[in-house]
Amino acid sequence: MYKKVTVKRDGIVTGKERVKKAFHSEAVDRVPWVPFVGCHAGALLGVSAEEFLKSDKLIVEGVTKAIELYRPDGIPVAFDLQIEAEALGCGLVWAEENPPAVVKHPLVNGVSIEDLRIPNAEEGRIGLVLDATRSLRKAHPDIALYGLITGPFTLALHLLGTDIFMKMFDEVAYVGKLLNFCKDVCVAMSRYYIEAGCDVIAMVDPMTSQIGPDQFTQFVTPYATEIFESIRSQNALSSFFVCGHAQQNIAVMAECKCDNISIDENIPLDYVRDECEKHGISYGGNLQLTSVLLLGEPIDAQKNAIACMEIAGDTGFILAPGCDLPYAVPQDNIAAITEIVHDEYKRQVAAQAACQTSDDDRLDLNEYGKADKMIVDIITLDSEACAPCQYMVDAVKRVTPEFEGIVEWREHKIKYRESLVFMTSLMVHNVPTICIDGEIVFVSRIPPKDELIAAIQKRINAKFRLRIQQRKASVYILDSGCDKTEQIEENLQTAISELGVDVNIEKITDTQTIQSYGVAPSQTPAVVVAKYQVKSLGRLPEVVAIKEWLKDLQ
Amino acid sequence: MKTIDVYILTGFVGAGKTTALNHLLRNEPLTAANPALIINEFGKIGVDGSLVARQDLKRYDINKGSIFCICTKTDFLKALTEIAESGCHQSLLIEATGIAETVDIESFLDAPKLKEIYQIKANLCLVDAANFTRVAAYLKPAKTQVQYADALIVNKCDLVSDAERDTLGQILESLNPTAPRVQTTYGKINTDFLAGIRHNIHDNKTLAQPPEDIIAVSISTEKPFDRDVFYQTLDDLKDNLLRLKGNINFGDGVRFVELAGTTISETEPSKELTKQNATPTAFTAIAWKIDRETLNNSFFDCVS
């Protein structure tokens, strides 16, 4: 007899292991990331939600594409809460960019509960979703696969419609019987998914957000508890998904003995964290679907993810959107979250950038870079702590001596507030970045020596050209009533015209002004030349810029 | 930019929203303001839609039901953006599903860029006089829709007794003391009444005291009830009990008891119902101004 031994490479944790550990509230190397890619995978393939959700081949392709793009630790096979309803005879209306909606409820259209049968593994679209599960399982053994089942209360609403809210008073026993049937469907569906290879069964019961904890305890708890018990007995993990205003039910949900609760943005994450920790279970959520993931920018998505991770801490938490990702969610927004999940350094940068700096804090740096010296600013997280930052600082350090004192460099560590203000004022979004005289030149890339020298030289040339264009000068004749003054003025005029330069001549006779030049009236006539340079026009220069100008005068 | 006036209609299925919608569409001020329609009725696509009187109007069906409340947001924002960009509507009428949260709909209209365009004129909640207390004990939005309304239109008043109407008035007053109330039949809404409504922003709405909750308890027991004690209990709880329905075993056989408003009836139970019940006594009571435990205890005290 040979014993099968799984050999694991040292230190490599698979997504599946990470999800499992988080479910058991054990320490993980980083937060597990489970993007709920549903019909959005259809968008990734350029097909409609309807085409996507009706084809096992497209589901496999779409989910595979999402795995490549978003590098998740876990992913659902199909996010469609109408699969069971359809198999049970509910009428569906299909949409381009949404999962289908139930529009016809069999129990108000002549069908009785006794007529309903638990669907087998082939009925409706169940077979194709299970086929997709098996293919994905084979292709991605290291990812936690989520099988999604419609929770008993939501399924009951699909079957009966809103009449259920009347029957909860009128016919309690009937509602009980219906929920018991729905529970049996849930148990069967979870078994199908587990047998096809799912690691996690997510029971999604959004309609429970419509009732209070008393009704939940009466109409949901007994059935949900049995479903989770059945999942546990098959050694799979369970998650209870809810969306909407369901804060009132989190405590009673946690008592249903699920391993995890997943919520959306309608419930504060810290509330769920505290409730779940009290019950010794894990939780997940609650990235904002519409306002951030769909309509925001990648940086907004990252900020939102960081906010979730900061509230949740290290253990017992799964980073996930609140619900099915919208069909048209921009790939870049989800990929931006993947980046900070996988890269601790990028996360720190985004976290720093996320610190709110108000517009009032922003410096006006238009005057920056008008000093004689060339200023090279390096925006870093901290060159002592982060390798790319260190290489960038070293690169600049090596090059500056070649310019023999014309180039000055400075590092701005954005862990300090003033550096962060400086960074945002220069419109820098990535770290590390090199700015030359306040202009962004190299972003997240360490330039080779020659390239950096060329960039600095280019700026020196540009500055020199500008300097020549802007040069202005005056000649003052300090005069306290002497007959030589006229001759001096004549000579100056001749010199100016012979040289063809743009210089004013000004005669000063006021005794006090003459003295302000350090000349006594007895020493007149005297000639003073002054050179001007326009540093700022029509605006208020910042102190940081003025300091650079003043240094040139020393 | 021109603003668009928004009227929101909420209320549970059967409260008469579609009738009220048609009434509004045929009268001032909407009739002249080229309204766009957003219809968000759970699981009834195409059914309610076909009942809308003016088929010429631009209509958006939000079809995900509010089953995924947040996902509905995407569709809502899309419709609101399209309506704003078309530039040809001066008004918008939203018929919300009975299971929608008013605060969600108001938050969609408060989204960046949209809030400068849309201006909520009135958020009207239709209340079904005959069924409100039945649903409110179970369905959370049935209560919150009343709480967040700018005006309450109590419909189907002809179907209830004066006493029931008074009690309903007290319940609505407790849930929302500031909203003007009007009683109506067939969903008619007076134009002057509509013009007098002020939209309330509910961000920090504070009530002088929290509304009295409407609760439901289900009693199920093998033990027989003492009829006299039971009827005495009903009398003692007459200010609290709103409804009661179900089978009660009084020792001499199981009876079907129903209390609606002030009327109590006792009849032969249906075989079907009796068969479904796990115990001979199995009934449900809906009450208010009383806590669950006290109500439960009052009924268990009827055990002989």
The pLDDT, as a whole number, for residue A39 is 92
> Which chain A residue shows the shortest CA-CA distance from B243?
A169
The pLDDT, as a whole number, for residue A7 is 43
Angle at A227 between CA A168 and CA A192, to 5 degrees: 120
Distance from CA of A241 to the nearest CA of B (A): 11
Contact A15, A22 (CB under 8 A): no
What residue type is assigned to position B127 of the chain? V
Q: Which residues contact A303 (CB under 8 A, 6 or more apart)?
A: A350, A354
Query: Is residue A217's pLDDT more than 60?
Result: yes
Give residue-wise pLDDT tens across range A163-195.
Answer: 898 899 888 999 999 999 999 999 999 999 999
Q: In which band, very low, low, confident or very high, does the pLDDT at B285 lie, cut at 50, 70 and 90?
A: very high
* Cβ under 8 Å to B: A residues 404-463: none
Sheet of A526-532, strands arranged across = A503-508, A472-478, A526-532
| Start-to-end CA span in chain A (Å) | 88
Q: In which band, very low, low, confident or very high, does the pLDDT at B43 lie, cut at 50, 70 and 90?
A: low
Rounded Cα–Cα distance for residues B187 and B22 (Å): 9
Distance from CA of A26 to the nearest CA of B (A): 31
Distance from CA of A546 to the nearest CA of B (A): 39
To the nearest 10°, the Cα dihedral for B170, B176, B182, B184? -80
Rounded Cα–Cα distance for residues B222 and A200 (Å): 41
Range in A466-475, B173-182, B200-209, B275-284 the model is least confident about: B200-209
> Which chain A residue shows the shortest CA-CA distance from B12?
A162
Say yes or no for a CB contact (<8 Å) between A289 and B284. Answer: no
Cβ-Cβ contacts under 8 Å, A211 against chain B: 138-140
Q: In which band, very low, low, confident or very high, does the pLDDT at A118 lie, cut at 50, 70 and 90?
A: very high
The pLDDT, as a whole number, for residue B204 is 47
Cβ-Cβ contacts under 8 Å, A101 against chain B: 43, 45, 63-65, 67
Between helices A152-160 and A221-233, what is the axis angle to 10°?
120
Quick one: which of A292, A294, A233, A237 has its CA closest to A261? Answer: A237
Question: What is the ipTM, given to two decimal places?
Answer: 0.84
Bridge partners of B182, per DSSP, are B153
Query: Is residue B49's pLDDT more than 80?
Result: no
Half-sphere exposure of A59 (CA within 13 A, CB side): 25
Q: Whose structure tokens read 């929770």?
A: A151
Query: Is residue A548's pLDDT more than 90?
Result: no
Query: Is residue A497's pLDDT more than 90?
Result: no
Bridge partners of A530, per DSSP, are A474
> Which chain A residue shows the shortest CA-CA distance from B97?
A162
Contact B219, B284 (CB under 8 A): yes
Q: In which band, very low, low, confident or very high, does the pLDDT at A444 lie, cut at 50, 70 and 90?
A: confident
Q: Which residues contact A523 (CB under 8 A, 6 or more apart)?
A: none
Angle at B216 between CA B211 and CA B220, to 5 degrees: 160
Q: In which band, very low, low, confident or very high, does the pLDDT at B118 lie, cut at 50, 70 and 90?
A: very high
Quick one: which of B27, B302, B259 has its CA closest to B161? Answer: B259
Give residue-wise pLDDT tens across range A93-103.
Answer: 888 888 888 88
Neighbour tally for A464: CB within 10 Å: 10
Q: Which domains does chain A have, with CATH numbers?
A: 48-282 (3.20.20.210), 359-468 (3.40.30.10), 472-532 (3.40.30.10)
Cβ-Cβ contacts under 8 Å, B135 against chain A: 165-166
Q: In which band, very low, low, confident or very high, does the pLDDT at B55 lie, cut at 50, 70 and 90?
A: low
Contact B185, B155 (CB under 8 A): yes
Give residue-wise pLDDT tens across range A83-94.
Answer: 999 999 998 888
The pLDDT, as a whole number, for residue A5 is 42
Selected residue of A53, A102, A172 to mutate for chain B interface (largest B Cβ count, 10 A): A172
- Chain B interface includes A290 (CB < 8 A): yes
Q: Which domains does chain B have, with CATH numbers?
A: 4-195 (3.40.50.300), 214-300 (3.30.1220.10)
Residues of chain A above pLDDT 90, percent: 48
The pLDDT, as a whole number, for residue A316 is 94
Distance from CA of A244 to the nearest CA of B (A): 6
Pairing of strands B281-288, B214-221: antiparallel
Range in A4-13, A27-36, A253-262, A335-344 the model is least confident about: A4-13
Query: Greater confidence, B129 or B1?
Result: B129
Rounded Cα–Cα distance for residues A335 and A71 (Å): 9
Q: In which band, very low, low, confident or very high, does the pLDDT at A2 lie, cut at 50, 70 and 90?
A: very low
What residue type is assigned to position B237 of the chain? L
Query: Greater confidence, A4 or A370?
Result: A370
* H helical segments located in A280-356: 298-312, 331-342, 344-354
Mean pLDDT within A207-235: 94
Give residue-wise pLDDT tens across range A148-157.
Answer: 999 999 999 9
The pLDDT, as a whole number, for residue A325 is 92
Selected residue of A40, A165, A247 to mutate for chain B interface (largest B Cβ count, 10 A): A165
Report the run of H or E that residue B39 belongs to, with start and end.
strand B35-39
- Mean pLDDT for chain A overall: 88
* H helical segments located in chain B: 17-26, 69-86, 102-109, 132-136, 140-147, 162-175, 191-195, 227-236, 271-276, 292-300
> Which chain B residue shows the shortest CA-CA distance from A329?
B74
Cβ-Cβ contacts under 8 Å, B71 against chain A: 98, 289, 323-324, 326
Query: Is residue A128's pLDDT more than 80?
Result: yes
Query: Is residue A52's pLDDT more than 90?
Result: yes
Rounded Cα–Cα distance for residues B88 and B70 (Å): 28
Query: Greater confidence, B84 or A65?
Result: A65
- Chain B interface includes A322 (CB < 8 A): yes
- Chain B interface includes A245 (CB < 8 A): yes
The pLDDT, as a whole number, for residue A120 is 96
The pLDDT, as a whole number, for residue A4 is 43
Q: In which band, very low, low, confident or very high, does the pLDDT at B207 lie, cut at 50, 70 and 90?
A: low
Residues of chain A above pLDDT 70, percent: 94
Nearest CB to A177; choose among B74, B134, B276: B276
The pLDDT, as a whole number, for residue A122 is 94
